[in-house]
Amino acid sequence: MTSRLSSTPSRRTVVKAAAATAVVAAPVLAAASSATAASAQEAPAFLHGVASGDPLPDGVLLWTRITPTPDAVPGSGKGADTAVGWEVAEDKAFARIAARGTTTSKAASDHTVKVDVRGLRQATAYYFRFTAGTGISAVGRTRTAPATEAATPGVRFGVVSCANWEAGYFSAYRHLAARADLDAILHLGDYIYEYATGGYPEPKYVVRQHSPKNEITTLADYRTRHATYKTDSDLQALHAAHPVIAIWDDHEFANDTWSGGAENHTPGAEGEWAARAAAARQAYFEWMPVRASTEGTVYRRLRFGKLADLHLLDLRSFRSQQATVGSGSVDDPNRSITGRAQLDWLKAGLAGSDAAWKLVGTSVMISPVAFGSVPAHLLGPIAELLGLPKEGLAVNVDQWDGYTDDRKELLAHLTQRGIDNTVFLTGDIHMAWANDVPVKAATYPFSESAATEFVVTSVTSDNLDDILHVAPGTLSLVASAAVKAANRHVKWIDMDNHGYGVLDVTAERSQMDYYVISDKTTEDATSKWARSYRTLSGTQRVERVGQPVR
């Protein structure tokens, strides 16, 4: 794997293409520290924080990990079954208990604990904690969803993706944790990264080393990497402050994952893909406050009153292998990014929704993107001549651009059924975007928009200036202008900054406020508002707003 790790992952291909276009035209503990802390403990310890997720009107999923004995470190398979108590209260002092119970942590699930609590009141904040022996966890705060038919005036989500431990500190998480106005955090994938230390970024740019140092391929490896992330104080603060709604992307498994393999997997040398994928999936559901569907996947639907249905996608488990750029196979109707069952599920859910807004969590960008200064009206004819996607010159075939038939079917479904107020929420690309989602990109804006899309930048993973090692803005202004010129549905791009989004939804509009952090390589990075875009009800178009929602 040495040669592969020294090459550029495809996640960086798209920003390098943009650069080429521009030229032409709180202290954090390492996983090892957890073992050190555990070695000094006398009682079962909660070293990896507490979390909640997937809020429902009457309940929420609670999570923690107990270290029952000093040697029962994550991935070790050691440690006896341990009784763990849990409590949910209406107040932080736990004077008014709403629910309580006992469960058991086992080595078979890496001593992680998940409790699906029901019987709670709708749209209500609660506090929770765990106990084991004389050990007691930190206190977490969570919130239930509004009643299914409630006329909810508003809902607000923090939105994040792409947090590479070795690339920097998780300050974005700390700033979201400090907000008291969020209903939940939406994590759109790449919660962890699978590379060996120094694989991405290069060794000289590594800010802090993760554990294990090797590329993760086994169940013990994936468990240990998840555990490393959950020793981060900013990530612990985020999970303790808000319920998290998460989907996976490729790096929870391996770079450019598809149903039968991955770019960053060598059969034989690294075992069979099915075994590696099963290990990654098991560790994910053990370590994340996520309810697995009956198929053992993350596509599912959550509702926030009559205001919003949130459709969450799994774009890794069922997809066809990525196409070769220029092969023409990106338009093959036999290839799919969603798989037939999931696409039918999504279409049915969108058509059947009576919510004011249909939010779709998609780990990769659905908007078509052509890189270059080719006029939009020439993209279609040139694509046909060159055997490239008819909807534009695809650069990143890992996105929906590599599976245009699925996208065409979904967008046609939205327009033909008159489904409005669909907003795609996206991560993956390490840049912030605000897009209309055109039915035909080559003729836009003279043709219709089927939906809108808000893309959040990375928490730490490299973007344009990081990859080229230039000062922010050196090339990005020219690059973004060229991209916008070739893609008139793209309203804004930020290719340089790291940070997060805050999505505020009301009956009248959905607005994304984009925030950036000052420096991902410092632990005390500050945060500031950068831009805001919104889509008004019934318009399917985005527009700039002069200030964030207060």
465: domain CATH number is 3.60.21.70
Q: Which two tokens stand for residue 376?
A: 């939009």
Task: Determine, yes or no, domain membership for 136.
Answer: no
Q: pTM of the full predicted structure? A: 0.91
Q: Range of 151's domain? A: 2-40+146-545
In 90-132, at which residue ranges do the beta strands (DSSP E only) sit?
Answer: 97-105, 112-117, 125-132
**127 Cβ contact list (under 8 Å, min separation 6):** 88, 89, 90, 91, 92, 94, 139, 140, 141, 142
Q: Which two tokens stand for residue 492?
A: 């804004």
Q: How far is CA 456 from the centre of its chain?
A: 9
Q: What angle do CA 449, 453, 456 make, to 5 degrees?
A: 160
Task: Determine, yes or no, domain membership for 72.
Answer: no
Task: Determine, yes or no, domain membership for 13.
Answer: yes
Task: Determine, yes or no, domain membership for 50.
Answer: no
Task: Determine, yes or no, domain membership for 133.
Answer: no
Task: Determine, yes or no, domain membership for 425.
Answer: yes
Nearest to 184 by CA among 134, 228, 236, 246: 246
* Number of domains, the chain: 1
Tens-digit pLDDT string for the chain (550 aa)? 333 333 333 444 444 344 433 433 333 333 344 444 444 557 799 999 999 999 999 999 999 999 999 999 999 999 999 999 999 999 999 999 999 999 999 999 999 999 999 999 999 999 999 999 999 999 999 999 999 999 999 999 999 999 999 999 999 999 999 999 999 999 999 999 999 999 999 999 999 999 999 999 999 999 999 999 999 999 999 999 999 999 999 999 999 999 999 999 999 999 999 999 999 999 999 999 999 887 789 999 999 999 999 999 999 999 999 998 777 788 899 999 999 999 999 999 999 999 999 999 999 999 999 865 544 555 565 555 545 566 655 568 999 999 999 999 999 999 999 999 999 999 999 999 999 999 999 899 999 999 999 999 999 999 888 887 877 777 777 778 888 988 999 999 999 999 999 999 999 999 999 999 999 999 999 999 999 999 999 999 999 999 999 8
Q: Which two tokens stand for residue 523?
A: 């632990």
d(CA 4, CA 376): 35
Question: How far is the first Cα of the chain from the last one, in angstroms, to the nearest whole number?
Answer: 48
| Cα atoms in the 13 Å half-sphere on the side-chain side of 456 | 35
**CB atoms near residue 204 (< 10 Å):** 6
**136 Cβ contact list (under 8 Å, min separation 6):** 46, 129, 130
Nearest to 432 by CA among 188, 171, 235, 179: 188
Task: Determine, yes or no, domain membership for 71.
Answer: no
Task: Determine, yes or no, domain membership for 114.
Answer: no
